[in-house]
Structure 1
Amino acid sequence: MDYETACRLLIDQSDETNSNAETFLARLGQGKPPVPGQVTSILLALRVVSEGLKGQTTLDRSLANALFLISSEGRRLFDAELRRSLECPPLLNEDLERIAIAVKAIFSGSSSS
């Protein structure tokens, strides 16, 4: 995955406005678990973006918004909807923590590895 593809994936997955979408946040907002492989793709994209931003001092506003939404809204939606759902994957809580750590590392400019 290249940097541009990773950015687009993160921006796309942060869209929660389309109720018919299968995006990460749309599914969490509907009380559904992520599609298999969705969290893995997000984590890979976060790693690619982190590497691509090394030495940069600014972030694109759309990318920054997507990072914020995937991290904070993902957690909020999990806490509000999925935690009490029988469909909740057992490792989703830990996956959300990994996402938050990776996003924090991108914002701080440090390595999340």
Structure 2
Amino acid sequence: MDYKTARNFLITQGKALETQKNPDAFLIRLKQGQPPIPGQLTSILLALKIVFDAAKDSSALERELVSALYKLSIESHLLFEEGRSRGVEWPPLLKEDIKRVRLAVGSIFSGQWS
């Protein structure tokens, strides 16, 4: 996966609740109480690492990408908790994977991988 593909993938996943174009997008599946598609979080985490590597020396990030990253990190946690409060039985490692997304987004914003 190259930077352009990673960027576009993250924007598509992060803006899915707004656009409703991709019913299998990560945030839409969480909102519906469905687990991610197998490999979906792995692809998100890989894309986040690629964006981090490309942007770590940059002093600015584009607004559309920042918005999508923010939504991926915040909305995924909120939707997970909402689902849990409704009685959704999430896959065992989903909470940890969502934490990894949040940490990776924070790394992109700070310029230091954690």
Q: Taking structure 1 as the reference length, what is the TM-score of the superposition?
A: 0.92
User: Would the alpha carbon gap of residues 9 and 82 (structure 1) be closer, same or farther in structure 2, given more than 3 Å must change?
Assistant: farther
Which residue of the partner structure matches residue 57 of structure 1? 59
Report the alpha carbon displacement of residue 16 of structure 1 after superposing the two structures with TM. Answer: 1.5
Please tell me whether the aligned partners of residues 28 and 82 of structure 1 are also in contact (alpha carbons under 8 angstroms). no
Query: Aligned with 2:38: secondary structure?
Result: coil
| 1:98 correspondence with 2:81 | no
Query: Aligned with 1:16: secondary structure?
Result: helix
Query: Aligned with 2:27: secondary structure?
Result: helix
Which residue of the partner structure matches residue 7 of structure 1? 7
Cα displacement string for residues 35-56 of structure 1 (whole angstroms, at most 9, x for unaligned residues): 1100000000000000000210
Report the alpha carbon displacement of residue 19 of structure 1 after superposing the two structures with TM. Answer: 7.5
Kindly indicate which of the two structures has a greater share of residues assigned to helix: 2
Name the Cα RMSD after superposition: 1.4
Cα displacement string for residues 47-103 of structure 1 (whole angstroms, at most 9, x for unaligned residues): 0000000210111111001100000000000000146313x1100000001011100
| 1:85 correspondence with 2:81 | no
Query: Aligned with 1:107: secondary structure?
Result: helix
> 2:97 & 2:30 partners in 1: Cα distance?
13
Query: Aligned with 1:50: secondary structure?
Result: helix
Which residue of the partner structure matches residue 109 of structure 1? 111
> 2:98 & 2:72 partners in 1: Cα distance?
9
Letter of the 1:85 partner, please give it.
Answer: V
Give 5+ residue unaligned stretches, structure 1: none
> 2:102 & 2:56 partners in 1: Cα distance?
18
Letter of the 1:107 partner, please give it.
Answer: F
* Structure 1 residue ranges (4+ consecutive) displaced by more than 2 angstroms after TM superposition: none
Q: Taking structure 2 as the reference length, what is the TM-score of the superposition?
A: 0.92
* Percent of aligned positions that are identical: 47
Query: Aligned with 2:17: secondary structure?
Result: coil
Which residue of the partner structure matches residue 16 of structure 1? 17
